[in-house]
Amino acid sequence: MDASRRAALQTLALAPLALQPARASDFGDAKLVPRSLVVNCVDVPATAAFFSEALGMTVKAGKDGVARASFGPTALGRPKDFKVGLNSFDMDGGHFSLELTPAPNVAPASPETDAILYVQVALPYQFRPSKMMKYGGELRDGYGAWSVGAPGGLPLRLLVGDEPPDRLMYAAYRARDARKSAAWYEARGFRRAPYPRARPPTVQGDESPFDPNPPKGSIYLEAAPGSFGVLLVPDRRGKAPVTGVPAVGALRLAGLAEPSVDPDGSWLIAGDY
């Protein structure tokens, strides 16, 4: 076999690795890295059971009654035995988590006005509505992608995805002025990025009910390549609850200089775990 043919075959053999999405478990030189979303829960064990038993997430107990739910290792280092192109990205490090935090006065869910529309989750298997209901989930609607209320009020949009960098993909926030809010995030280290997909696009580029397009006028931002993102959706109905704390709390980022609240009332807080 001549050298040019051997080189061509080697290139083809390595092509699948080159096409793999960058997990970036250490997130390179990113100044900000999203680490968790605070979820205020009246009953942490019940909420944890839903994410564990109904969605297949790994839940680990932390300090002060807090539990963390994720789809893979959360440590920012890549596991030593992880092999790019051989192992599932669910086994890589740096996964985002839901920080299930005890709170006695969580406001009832209000899907029409809550500041957060949903957290998008790409599951590796088909939905089992009966199991979700068994563990306290509320099925609100669904065709392809499903709208579900987790116990305690966290709104989710569930779809089946091949293998995105992280199955916890992004939080969709209502924004009175999406451009103004996007500028606020950009001033703090976020940047606009292509809308993430959980499934390969169709050959024709048509919208799929199994991975719908974002609402018109939405702006997607990320703080680090392949990290949990923020989708700003133009919608003026978002508002804080009249009583109690919202089910969805602050977005926690490693590297954030100081806590701050965006133009629509959503908090960013510093810290890691």
Mean of pLDDT values over 210-224: 94
Identify the pLDDT of residue 56: 93
Identify the pLDDT of residue 226: 86
pLDDT above 90: residue 259? yes
Place of tokens 């989930």: 137
Pairing of strands 219-222, 229-234: antiparallel
Cα separation, 232 vs 117, whole angstroms:
10
pLDDT above 70: residue 20? no
Name the burial class of residue 48, with classes exposed (0-12), middle (13-18) and buried (19+) by CB atoms within 10 angstroms of its CB: buried
Q: Do 18 and 84 meet the contact criterion of CB atoms below 8 Å apart?
A: no
pLDDT above 80: residue 118? yes
Mean of pLDDT values over 156-162: 91
Which string of DSSP letters, residue by residue, matches 137-155?
A: -EEEEEESEEEEEPTTS-E
Q: Can you give the residue ranges of every domain in the chain?
A: 24-270
DSSP state of 160: E
Identify the pLDDT of residue 4: 45
Cα separation, 215 vs 111, whole angstroms:
16
Mean of pLDDT values over 144-173: 91
Cα separation, 271 vs 36, whole angstroms:
10
pLDDT above 60: residue 128? yes
Report pTM.
Answer: 0.86
Report the percentage of the chain scoring pLDDT > 70. 85
Q: Which residues pair with 270 in a beta bridge?
A: 253
Domain 24-270 CATH (choose: 3.40.50.720, 3.40.50.2000, 3.30.565.10, 3.10.180.10) = 3.10.180.10
- Residue type for 158, please? L
Cα separation, 175 vs 230, whole angstroms:
11
Q: 16: pLDDT confidence band, cut at 50, 70 and 90?
A: very low
Identify the pLDDT of residue 142: 84
Residue with more model confidence, 76 or 47: 47
Number of CB atoms found within 10 A of residue 130's CB: 9
DSSP state of 126: -
Identify the pLDDT of residue 3: 46
Identify the pLDDT of residue 15: 33
The two tokens of residue 200 are 């390969």
Sign of CA dihedral 189, 194, 195, 200: negative
Q: Which residues pair with 155 in a beta bridge?
A: 149
Cα separation, 141 vs 136, whole angstroms:
16
Q: 25: Cβ–Cβ under 8 A, 6 or more apart, which residues?
A: 76, 77, 78, 82, 92, 93, 94
